[in-house]
Structure 1
Amino acid sequence: MIRLLGSILFVCCMTQSNAQGQPGHSPDSIAYYRKQLQSHHQLRVSAHRGSSDLAPENTLATYRRALAMQVDYIEIDVRTTNDGKLVILHDGTVNRTTNGTGPVRNLALADVKKLSAGKGFSGTFAHELIPTLEEVCQLLADWNVNHPVASNLYIDCKDVAPEPLVATLTHYGLLTNAVFYGSDTYLAALQKVAPSARLMPALQKADDIANKIRTLHPYAFDVNYSALNESLIQRIHQQGIQVFSDLLDTLDQPVHYKRAARMGVDVIQTDHVMSVYRTLSTQN
């Protein structure tokens, strides 16, 4: 019921903003919040598995809502079916988010596409399906063609060979600006297939910075929020590397958005995009 009300409020907010005709000047519009955020902070926003408080995670429905909020990144989790097709699913099994059971690795794409990915939401999303990587790429490519500010992919490489992943992103013109998260071993393999790919290894401790730079030449580090401080962020920035951090669950609240912005984090990942926008649309 709460999720349904959230979806209704989101639609109403968007309708009201569009009806005013001057979204850049309306205090209720996405464009207003984005402009304010960019004028006060360098911080950018990644929608964690889409906008999953408004629609089922890792579905086309949730990505449409995230794109409508003009996020900088949409995060996707990529896995592989038993017939070699790339699909978007966080867990190794379909149990939690669909009406099916079992590892996605054991299912053919045709079987995956028979499942409802709307589990836990109202009947509005009962027909929502697990999308393929191609479907998400097509959605994003179409969006970017028709909007002045592009959104990009934040790819969590759960279970996917580098070659088909790179081939698909290249086909849709999304490889260059995508950011790839995964194990160091996986990212090294990906780098061999796409030498210019923007790699983002996890950084657990500052002592690992030099070795990861030498072996992976990262575009960014994914740093645990609890380990972040201004000194560490400055050290990473001095190497020309960005800092991404997850603000999820109990961390997904205004006090932490503000702290991340003050410290100079480049990108935060959140389940509550509008909360970030409202919090950081002022200099406070």
Structure 2
Amino acid sequence: MKKILFSTILLSMIVSSTTHLYAQSNDLIKKLDQKSLHVAAHRGAHLEQPENSIAAIEEAIRQGASVVEVDVRATKDGVLVLMHDKTVNRTTTGQGEVAKQTYAELQQLHLRKKANGEASDHVIPTLSEALRVAKGKILVDLDFKEDRKEFVKKTYALVEQEGMEDQVLFFLYDYKDMPKIYKLNPTITLFPRARSMKDLEAILKMKLTSIVHLDESFIDSEKLNALRQQGIYFWMNSLGEYDDKAEQEGKKAYRSFLEKYPFVRLIQTDHPSLWREVLSGS
């Protein structure tokens, strides 16, 4: 009885016209509706190009990814740049924290071709540069890594400045931050993470987004497929286990991923080109 009741509650939160129910970009939802499954390139196509580089974004576009995920931090003088780690040690020829160096100082560094590997000719890009390269070509998932939360507002302002409201997902580790950030610009699509069915219920109840990040603990296909059919877009990662298996076993690893998680709509991966082969049936 409890299971039936919970499913009924979840489904009652959804109506068939999700673009009118949720406070998000209608144009972005229309783009997602063009395909049943989408590939998101993790830190750009970083196996071919330095992670979080302009070249990695361009390679993700070339490989046919629908979304490119990039990480956002701010320099000492407040310039928004792409960088996953708190420090530049792993991915550049420099040392130290991003937040303790100016943009000019960071521009003296070179991105490494691979983590802790040899230097490339590429430099750390600004968020503005990244958005301009992506504009009109690929959706952008902004993974906001900056500890200083006042830079959320600056990130939103930059998205607006570049006219990218309809192409950006703003990822949230804590869905409880949604109402406050939503007020900055309701047309920018929030993209929260749910760690449990209880989290998912709370997110959908807010009616601020229909795109939710799930992890491998979500396996109730019946409930989640019902929500997918009602217009909810579930994002899951094939990073780690399934990407590693794909390196060894090829495309069958990804087919088993889809069998286990049939409700997924967006898949983040380190192997966007291999996923494209699977989804194209080749």
**Number of the residue aligned with 2:216:** 225
Aligned residue identity for 1:209: L
Q: Which has the higher contact order (CA 8 A, sep 6+)?
A: 2
User: Matched residue of 1:56: which SS?
Assistant: coil
Tell me if 1:154 matches 2:148: no
- Aligned residues with identical type, % of pairs: 27
User: Which digits, 9 at most, give the CA deviation of each residue in 1:147-178, with x for residues without a partner?
Assistant: xxx41111111116222111211222211231
What is the rounded CA distance, in whole Å, between the counterparts of 2:46 and 2:86 in structure 1? 18
**Number of the residue aligned with 1:25:** none
C-alpha displacement of 1:215: 3.5
Aligned residue identity for 1:181: F
Task: Say which of 144, 163, 167 aligns to 1:177.
Answer: 167
**Which stretches of structure 1, 4 residues or longer, exceed 6 Å deviation after superposition?**
none
Q: What are structure 1's unaligned runs of at least 5 residues?
A: 1-37, 145-149
**Number of the residue aligned with 2:108:** 114
Count of aligned pairs: 237
What is the rounded CA distance, in whole Å, between the counterparts of 2:253 and 2:163 in structure 1? 34
C-alpha displacement of 1:48: 0.5
What is the rounded CA distance, in whole Å, between the counterparts of 1:186 and 1:82 in structure 2? 25
**Number of the residue aligned with 2:264:** 265
What is the rounded CA distance, in whole Å, between the counterparts of 1:56 and 1:106 in structure 2? 22
For the 8 Å contact 1:47–1:73, the answer to whether it is kept is yes
**Number of the residue aligned with 2:95:** 101
User: Which digits, 9 at most, give the CA deviation of each residue in 1:118-145, with x for residues without a partner?
Assistant: 253786x62211100011011112xx2x
- Normalising by structure 1, we get a TM-score of 0.76
**Number of the residue aligned with 2:53:** 59
Q: What are structure 2's unaligned runs of at least 5 residues?
A: 1-32
**Number of the residue aligned with 1:202:** 193
- Normalising by structure 2, we get a TM-score of 0.76
C-alpha displacement of 1:187: 3.6
Task: Say which of 181, 193, 205 aligns to 2:184.
Answer: 193
- Evaluate the alpha carbon distance shift between residue 185 and residue 229 of structure 1 in structure 2; reply closer, same or farther with a 3 A threshold: closer
Q: What is the alpha-carbon root mean square deviation over aligned residues? A: 2.4
User: Matched residue of 1:225: which SS?
Assistant: coil
What is the rounded CA distance, in whole Å, between the counterparts of 1:272 and 1:196 in structure 2? 30
- Evaluate the alpha carbon distance shift between residue 190 and residue 66 of structure 1 in structure 2; reply closer, same or farther with a 3 A threshold: same
What is the rounded CA distance, in whole Å, between the counterparts of 1:210 and 1:54 in structure 2? 39
